[in-house]
Structure 1
Amino acid sequence: MSNAREQVLQQLSVSRETTERLDAYASLLEKWNPAINLVAPSTIKDLWTRHFLDSAQVLDLAPPGETWMDIGTGGGFPGLIVAVLASEMRPELKMTCVESDQRKATFLRTAARELGLAVDIQSKRIEDLVPAQADILSARALAPLVRLLDFAEHHLAPNGRAIFLKGANHQREMQEALEKWQFQADTYPSKTDPDAVILSLGGIRRA
């Protein structure tokens, strides 16, 4: 048992069933990654902190709501991790993961099935989907903020909230976005990267 795994599980404080799901998910990622490159190979050894804990922190910041859309889910971050945790903590939550890469979407469907998660996997381009009217929209390492806000306008419910994990350039991205958009923003420090933040945005409309 790795120290990182123990530390992350201690922070998450989840049931044995959820722990088993996370372990099974880690095994699936390690098995599929050489063929599909779901995460950068150099980060597999840091899977529990770099990907699992990084994704898990968005659930704590999410407002109440029943529908959650995660865009550009890739190997499942944060959408599938949120779905695993929500099955215990917020069972009413309905998760949709959007991933246009067909191979990654196949992985997500396989993982959801093997983990026993009722997740809707959409293997289309985000802009081609019917507006979702989602209560919560999330994305991690997908696109600049100004582009993410296009997706948020398309898919968020009027009172919905967007939660974006952003790196060291978040302040510059915010300034660029404010030239085209108006929004109310809360910024939270990342638990896994001192230079990163989680942005929680509401009231999104074009300037």
Structure 2
Amino acid sequence: MQFDHQDVSRETSDRLETFAQLVRKWTAKINLISRNTVGEIWDRHIRDSMQLLDLAPDFDHWADLGSGGGFPGVVIAILAKEGSARPKFTLVESDLRKAAFLRTAVRELDLDATVLAERIENLSPLNANVLSARALADLTTLVSFADVHLAPTGTAIFPKGRNWREEHRKAQEAWSYSLSPVDSRTDEDAAILIIKDIKRV
């Protein structure tokens, strides 16, 4: 199913708008998103995050690393409430102020999500079916995180900008994996990298 602001349920649409308002409010105090993009929050951040759910396999545990302002983790957790399944979400954010924001969003939006205010390197393996990270690190680093925190048959979904091919080339020096790039619907220069079968070279 492809999600858009117009074709989700009223309840989900309301939750997404409530979340957008929370992001605007907190961004005035802490740097959740660039203040230059606050006016474009739906296209630049929410819809950009929504498209990831269409690319994910069935899952019961989705982990989002460096969740920051809740993109994509909180957005996906909101959308997932529409289905009959009740997957759990783990949102990892080492910045204590951003983690406080995430906990506020989870509570106010009634999401089945746990916020871990820890450094990714210090976490025990999360064993997630799906792992995401947006604007967090280079692909080599992200694949190393996925190697630790994905379940054996899990899938990593990483949105990347125009330099993704170069990042992929460098990552292959240390890692072997299957890659399926998908064009972003919200940025013609960007791609979403779907990665599986990770092994160290």
Match of 2:110 in 1: 116
1:20 to 6, 14, 25: 14
1:59-78 equivalences under 5 Å are 59-78=53-72
Contact 1:185/1:199 (<8 A) preserved: yes
Counterpart among 38, 41, 49 of residue 35 in structure 2: 41
Q: Say how many residue pairs are matched.
A: 199
8 Å contact from structure 2 (residues 87, 112) kept in 1: no
- The question of whether the paired residues in 1 share the 8 Å contact of 2:56 and 2:157 is answered with yes
SS at match of 1:172: helix
Note the residue ranges of structure 2 that are not aligned, 5 or more in a row.
none
Equivalent-residue separation in structure 2 for 1:29 and 1:91 (angstroms): 27
Instruction: Write out aligned runs for 1:41-190 (5 A).
Output: 41-89=35-83, 91-190=85-184
Mapped partners of 1:59, 1:111: distance in 2: 19
1:87-121 superposed Cα distances (whole Å, 9 cap, x missing partner): 11363211100000000000000011011112100
TM-score by length of 1: 0.94
In structure 2, what residue type is equivalent to 1:185? L
**d(CA) in 2 for partners of 1:28, 1:103:** 14
Partner of 2:5: 9
Q: How well do the aligned residues superpose, as a CA RMSD in angstroms? A: 1.1
Unaligned runs of 5+ in 1: 1-6
Distance across 1 between alignment mates of 2:16 and 2:84: 16
The amino acid across from 1:195 in the alignment is D
Percent of counterpart pairs with the same letter? 50
* Residues 8 and 49 in structure 1, CA contact (< 8 A), matched pair in contact too: no
Give me the whole-angstrom Cα distance separating, in 2, the residues matched to 1:32 and 1:163.
Answer: 27
Q: 1:120 to 1:32 in 2, by over 3 A?
A: same
Letter matched to residue 38 of structure 2: I
Corresponding residue of 1:4? none
Q: With structure 2 as the length reference, what TM-score do the two structures score?
A: 0.97
Aligned in 2, Cα 1:65/1:8: closer, same or farther, shift over 3 Å?
closer
Runs of 4+ in 1 over 4 A off after TM superposition: none
